[in-house]
Amino acid sequence: MTAPAGYALRAMEASDYDEALALWQACAGEGIGLNESDTRPAIEGYLARNPGLSQVVHTAQGHRLVGAVLCGHDGRRGYLHHLAVAADHRRRGLARSLVQAGLDGLHEMGIPKCNLFLYSHNHAGRDFWIHEGWAARDDLVVIQRGTDSPPPPVRS
């Protein structure tokens, strides 16, 4: 997958962390949810476990990171996280290029489907994904628990 004219698409590297984080923080009000899983060590680990799948887009001269997406898999399903494009570079096909590069990599690895998590109030994000051919499922519920939480008491 190539980026639109004037941009360069490549695999995300650990050295992209500061610029990617700044972009995600700038987009936090638009549906990017950052938390303890987005520290430098956590992202570096994610990139190491999923080499070549996460992507960034720079301006053609490589001066500014203007788009990023995390992409990985668990061996059976792919996952996208934190798709973001700088506001002044949107509507040029950059998000589509980022996503397609990740999907191409997953496909080459034999991963047949890809999932993503979207906040229910993120209507613009939902519209984007539906427009891009993704299907919303209403038969699933995300249930989550911290790994450091003690188990509940046994019921008698």
Instruction: Write out pLDDT tens, residues 6-29.
Output: 999 999 999 999 999 999 999 988
Q: How many CB atoms lie within 10 A of CB 67?
A: 24
**Mean pLDDT of the residues in the chain:** 93
- Report pTM: 0.90
Distance CA 65, CA 57 (A): 6
Contact 66, 7 (CB under 8 A): yes
Strand partners, 11: 55
Report phi then psi at 11, rounded to 5.
-65, 140
Task: Write down the CATH superfamily of domain 7-131.
Answer: Gcn5-related N-acetyltransferase (GNAT) (3.40.630.30)
- Residues sharing a CB contact under 8 Å with residue 75, sequence separation 6 or more, in sequence order: 111
**Res 101: pLDDT:** 97
